[in-house]
């Protein structure tokens, strides 16, 4: 865990940061001019007015409750909040609420989140935008008295399809004074989820044309968040990161993996630049080969809201050179598949349960629920990677040690859990638990949908019927051998475990 005092000065960002800063200024000098440009309508369509407010007047404060999208630039929610503040002649402030625990999140996730927020606080201070870091659930933190103490006239927040953020928003909306306006902005999806469709889509093939037809309007450049002309009336107290960190009620045994994924927007953008310059060219041909380092690996930063996927798509399209297949493949994964996940989680309240699966999948899993399993493993054996399958064990080691599974192997990994647990319900529970405890890109719609696809046939079709799986798509060890060098992958993570064990022995002998 890095220094959580909140006073640490971050190093100058990578070259891409200066490049993007210039592009934002070239787009528009500020969000006000952007709204008056040809692209302005796209931002207006991202906003839902949940409450008009009866006393929105000059001289107050526009407060952005930063929930899902924890970054300053390339953030439509903060841009909208600044536009509202400029229009009202109001100050602009940002608040982040940090619950002491949330789902299966561990120290790994919280350290990534908090380290990234150190960068957010620093950048906001340079823009005369106030920042408040509060420990606790949002409905408690964003009390009527807290909002009144800041003189809030408009509360802006971002969009999440998951039940907990939606419940927080509903609670805050219910308690909000009638004098205050409440706006929600979809800053996470390229095409706002409420613009794409108003129903749960069956599969990628049904949502793809709805997204792609609207992409020209919404895949726009970003204007900059500028230095705010009305600084906060009362300069915020520096964020007490150390106290928030100490108050966490999470599993601290799942350690950060900063050596693989440095937290913060600067690190995420540096990874984006590296992907486009050195890995994108092979992305189309090799992205399903776990031995080839060609993936973008953007999901940890996107999941934690530290980098905008819209920014990643713009950068790939502009800087990706003559690699049309790789560009198209990235857009499919980064926009179509990702936004399909948000669609499912928003429209299906059972997004993490077999009740959320299609009727055919529920039926076939029920029919094969009592099938005899050749192997049954406990929760402890699975988490430790102690199965008979060396490829699965290696994949689990990658997840534990690096905080992310290769995309192709995540499918194999989850399907084997279905094969090695006593029931489909247990398989789904254990796969989601491991993914959400260990993966930096867990606890988000893509994670829920990826596991549901693997175990419950979500967004898929029925296949040849077999034991245990029924008509759920099957994957096996031999099939993996045909796709890539399994032995090479296994050896890499076997050596990692050996090195780790030797390091532990050496440490313990001192």
Model pLDDT for residues 73-122, shown as the tens digit of each residue: 999 999 999 999 999 999 999 999 999 999 999 999 999 999 999 999 99
- β-pair partners for 148: none
Average pLDDT over the chain, rounded to an integer: 94
Model pLDDT for residues 314-336, shown as the tens digit of each residue: 999 999 999 999 999 999 999 99
Q: Do domains 15-190+227-246 and 354-503 have the same CATH topology?
A: no
Q: Which residues of 139-176 are buried (b: 16+ CB within 10 A; e: fewer)?
A: bebbeeeebeebbbbbbbbbbbbbeebeebbeebeeeb
pLDDT score for 54: 82
Report, in this order, helix, strand and coil percent for the chain, each rounded to 5: 55, 5, 40
- Cβ 63 vs Cβ 158: under 8 Å: no
- Cβ 458 vs Cβ 353: under 8 Å: no
For residue 1, pLDDT over 70 is answered with no
Model pLDDT for residues 443-473, shown as the tens digit of each residue: 999 999 999 999 999 999 999 999 999 999 9
Cα-based distances in Å from 187 to 47, 77, 445, 449: 9, 6, 15, 20
pLDDT score for 509: 42
CA distance 383 to 405: 14
> On the CB side of 437, how many CA atoms lie within 13 Å of its CA?
17
For residue 172, pLDDT over 70 is answered with yes
238: helix, strand or coil: coil
Would you say the C-alpha torsion 481, 483, 489, 491 has a positive or negative sign?
positive
For residue 503, pLDDT over 50 is answered with yes
**71: alpha, beta or left? (left if phi > 0; alpha if psi -120 to 50):** beta
**pLDDT band at residue 505 using 50, 70 and 90 as cut-offs:** low
For residue 8, pLDDT over 50 is answered with no
Section 181-194 average pLDDT: 98
**pLDDT band at residue 500 using 50, 70 and 90 as cut-offs:** low
User: Helices 486-509 and 390-402: crossing angle, nearest 10°?
Assistant: 50
Strands in 61-65's sheet, in edge-to-edge order, are 47-51, 181-185, 152-158, 61-65, 91-98, 130-135
pLDDT score for 438: 98
- Cβ 185 vs Cβ 80: under 8 Å: yes
Model pLDDT for residues 55-87, shown as the tens digit of each residue: 777 779 999 999 999 999 999 999 999 999 999
**373: alpha, beta or left? (left if phi > 0; alpha if psi -120 to 50):** beta
pLDDT score for 233: 81
- Residue written as token pair 């050195």: 278
More confident residue, 43 or 55: 43
Model pLDDT for residues 386-417, shown as the tens digit of each residue: 999 999 999 999 999 999 999 999 999 999 99
CA distance 479 to 387: 19
Section 177-183 average pLDDT: 95
pLDDT score for 5: 33
pLDDT score for 104: 97
Cα-based distances in Å from 157 to 213, 347, 441, 503: 27, 20, 22, 46
Listed residue (113, 106, 167, 114) closest to 436, CA to CA: 106
pLDDT score for 58: 75
Domain 15-190+227-246 fold: Rossmann fold (3.40.50)
- CA trace torsion 111, 114, 117, 119 (10° rounding): -50
Domain parsing of the chain, residue ranges: 15-190+227-246, 354-503
Domain 354-503 fold: DNA Cyclobutane Dipyrimidine Photolyase, subunit A; domain 3 (1.10.579)
CA distance 418 to 413: 9
Section 288-292 average pLDDT: 97
- Cβ 264 vs Cβ 10: under 8 Å: yes
Question: What is this structure's pTM?
Answer: 0.94
């Amino acid at each position: 865990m890095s220094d959580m005092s909140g006073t640490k000065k971050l190093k100058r960002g990578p070259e891409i940061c200066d490049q993007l800063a210039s592009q934002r200024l070239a787009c528009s000098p500020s969000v006000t001019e952007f709204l008056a440009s040809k692209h302005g309508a796209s931002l207006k369509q991202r906003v839902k007015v949940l409450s008009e407010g009866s006393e929105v007047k000059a001289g107050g404060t526009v407060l952005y409750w930063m929930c899902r999208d924890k970054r300053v630039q390339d953030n439509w929610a903060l841009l909208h909040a600044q536009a509202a503040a400029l229009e009202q002649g109001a100050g602009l402030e940002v608040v982040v609420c940090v619950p002491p625990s949330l789902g299966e999140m561990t120290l790994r996730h919280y350290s990534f989140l908090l380290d990234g927020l150190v960068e957010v606080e620093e950048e906001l201070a340079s823009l005369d935008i106030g920042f408040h870091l509060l420990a606790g659930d949002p409905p408690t933190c964003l009390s009527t008295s807290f909002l009144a103490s800041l003189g809030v006239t408009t509360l802006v927040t971002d969009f999440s399809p998951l039940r907990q953020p939606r419940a927080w928003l509903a609670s805050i909306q219910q308690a909000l004074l009638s004098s205050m306006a409440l706006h929600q902005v979809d800053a996470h999806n390229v095409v706002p989820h409420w613009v794409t469709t108003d129903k749960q889509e069956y599969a990628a093939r049904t949502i793809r044309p709805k997204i792609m037809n609207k992409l020209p309007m919404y895949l726009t450049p970003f204007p900059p968040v500028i230095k705010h002309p009305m600084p906060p009336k009362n300069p915020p107290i520096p964020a007490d990161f150390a106290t928030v960190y100490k108050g966490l009620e999470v599993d601290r045994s799942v350690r950060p993996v900063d050596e693989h994924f440095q937290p913060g927007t600067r690190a995420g953008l540096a990874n984006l630049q590296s992907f486009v310059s050195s890995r994108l060219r092979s992305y189309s041909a090799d992205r399903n080969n776990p031995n080839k380092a060609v993936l973008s690996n953007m999901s940890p930063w996107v999941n934690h809201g530290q980098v905008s996927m819209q920014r990643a798509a713009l950068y790939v399209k502009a800087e990706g050179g003559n690699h049309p297949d790789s560009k198209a493949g990235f857009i499919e994964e980064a926009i179509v598949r990702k936004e399909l996940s948000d669609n499912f989680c928003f429209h299906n309240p059972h997004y993490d349960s077999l009740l959320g699966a299609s009727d055919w999948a529920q039926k076939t899993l029920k029919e094969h629920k009592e099938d005899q399993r050749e192997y049954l493993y406990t929760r402890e054996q699975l988490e430790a990677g102690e199965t008979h399958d060396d490829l699965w064990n290696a994949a689990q080691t990658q997840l534990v040690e690096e905080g992310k599974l290769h995309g192709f192997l995540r499918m194999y990994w989850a399907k084997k859990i279905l094969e090695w647990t006593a029931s489909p319900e247990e398989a789904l529970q254990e796969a989601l638990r491991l993914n959400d405890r260990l993966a930096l890109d867990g606890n988000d719609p893509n994670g829920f949908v990826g596991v549901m696809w693997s175990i419950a046939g979500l967004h898929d079709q029925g296949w040849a019927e077999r034991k245990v799986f029924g008509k759920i798509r099957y994957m096996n060890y031999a099939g993996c051998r045909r796709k890539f060098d399994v032995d090479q992958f296994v050896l890499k993570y076997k050596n990692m475990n050996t090195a780790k064990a030797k390091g532990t022995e050496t440490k313990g002998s001192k």
